[in-house]
Amino acid sequence: MEAVAQQIPLEHFLVLSAILFSIGVYGVLTRRNAVLIIMSVELMLNAASINMVAFAAYTSPAAFTGIIFAIFIITIAAAEVGLALAIILRIFRNRGTANVDEVNALKW
Amino acid sequence: MTVAQGIFYLIAALAVAGGLGVVLARNTVYAALFLILALLAVAGIYILLASEFLALVQVLIYAGAITVLLLFALMLTRVGDLEETMVGAQWPLAVVASILLVGLLITTIATSDWPGDADGMITRIPFETLGEALFRQWAVPFEIASLVLLIALVGAIVLARDEEGDVEEAE
């Protein structure tokens, strides 16, 4: 395991994370189904977690704060998905759609 | 190319393929299955970075629990207009935006000088050290996170169940 850092520079992990994040952004911008938007948000959260863990491993191995951060990110993501899906179910029951463009009751 | 590099590029390719599958698949269930692929690949990245605990949590919570939850939501919100909700009309703009974003990020990463590359060692954090840090140094954030989870789940139950009060009022 110790040899990994000499063979793979930190930048490789950062570029992978940037690509995954941009894919997530594309998904959030194009998908109109609320559940699929949540999936793209999960991709973006994972990209951020890769950054955290890579920085923890490369720049401050003794403190490993990044790993603790990633654990909290996963916890909050679980809470977020549970709550978001409850809201989507409620919207679906009231309005019969999961299309975010049709949920425009607050729009003038 | 060394073995570690080969493994990294394989896992990275799997993660990117899974991510592209999530945003491009025409079938919602396929998108969820591609999400599992991407999440498992990210777990592989965690193992390459010597964080086994995170990889375990990723497989159990993300690839297991959260994806099942998403599949349930997909099942419960099956509607006729599913096909037309897959891709919005502004997708060319979204392509431009995300390509600009990835270009900007990669240029920044390539031109920045990152610290900590000198010794080139990744230390493995044992489970005991991680647990002790989580329950001593990070005890307050940990308790707040558990409170957030509790409130979110109670809120989810309250939101998702049928309100009996409404039915009585209707009668």
More confidently predicted of A87 and B165: A87
A16, pLDDT greater than 70: yes
Task: Please check whether residues B58 and B129 belong to one and the same domain.
Answer: no
Q: What is the mean pLDDT of each run of 10 residues along chain B (171 residues)?
A: 87 95 88 93 92 91 89 79 67 91 93 70 82 91 94 90 58 42
pLDDT of residue A8: 82
Please give the mean pLDDT across all residues of chain A.
Answer: 87
Q: What is the pLDDT of residue A98?
A: 78
Q: Cβ contacts of residue B24 below 8 Å, gap of 6+? A: none
* Chain segment B97-116, per-residue pLDDT in tens: 999 999 999 999 999 887 76
CA distance A106 to chain B (A): 19
Q: Which CATH number covers residue B27?
A: 1.20.120.1200
* Burial zone of B8 (CB within 10 Å; 0-12 exposed, 13-18 middle, 19+ buried): buried
Residue A88: closest CA among B73, B62, B86: B73
| Residue A3 amino acid letter | A
Q: Please indicate whether, in this complex, the C-beta atoms of A96 and B79 are within 8 angstroms of each other.
A: yes
**In this predicted structure, which of A54-68, A73-87, B5-19, B107-121 has the lowest mean pLDDT?**
B107-121
Residue B80 distance to chain A (closest CA, Å)? 9
Residue B170 confidence (pLDDT): 46
The one-letter amino acid code at B47 reads I
B38/A43 Cβ within 8 A: yes
For A85, name the nearest residue in chain B, comparing CA atoms only.
Answer: B73
**Cβ contact (<8 Å) for A24 and B19?**
yes
Residue B171 token pair: 């009668």
A54-58, A96-100, B158-162, B165-169, range with greatest mean pLDDT: A54-58
pLDDT, position B26 = 84
Q: Enumerate the residues of chain A whose CB falls inside 8 A of the CB of residue B98.
A: 22-23, 25-26, 29
Judge whether A106 lies within some domain: no
Residue environment code for A11-35, b if the CB has 16+ CB neighbours within 10 A, otherwise e = bbbbbbbbbbbbbbbbbbbbbbbbb
In the A/B pair of chains, how many CB contacts fall below 8 A?
A: 261
Interacting residues of B79 by C-beta distance below 8 A, sequence separation 6+: A92, A96, A97, A98, A99, B85
Q: For residue B152, is it within any domain?
A: yes
Let me know if residue A104 belongs to a domain.
Answer: no
Say if residue B60 is in the same domain as residue B130.
no
Domain range for B133 is: 125-162
Cα A98 to chain centroid distance, Å, stands at 20
Nearest to B20 among A21, A23, A34 (CB): A23
CB B42 within 8 Å of CB A46: yes
- Taking CA B152 as the corner, what is the angle to CA A43 and CA B68, rounded to the nearest 5 degrees? 45
Boundary-marking domain end, from B17, B44, B77: B77
Specify the number of domains making up chain B.
2
**ipTM computed for the complex:** 0.89
Please give the tally of structural domains in chain A: 1
CA distance B115 to chain A (A): 6
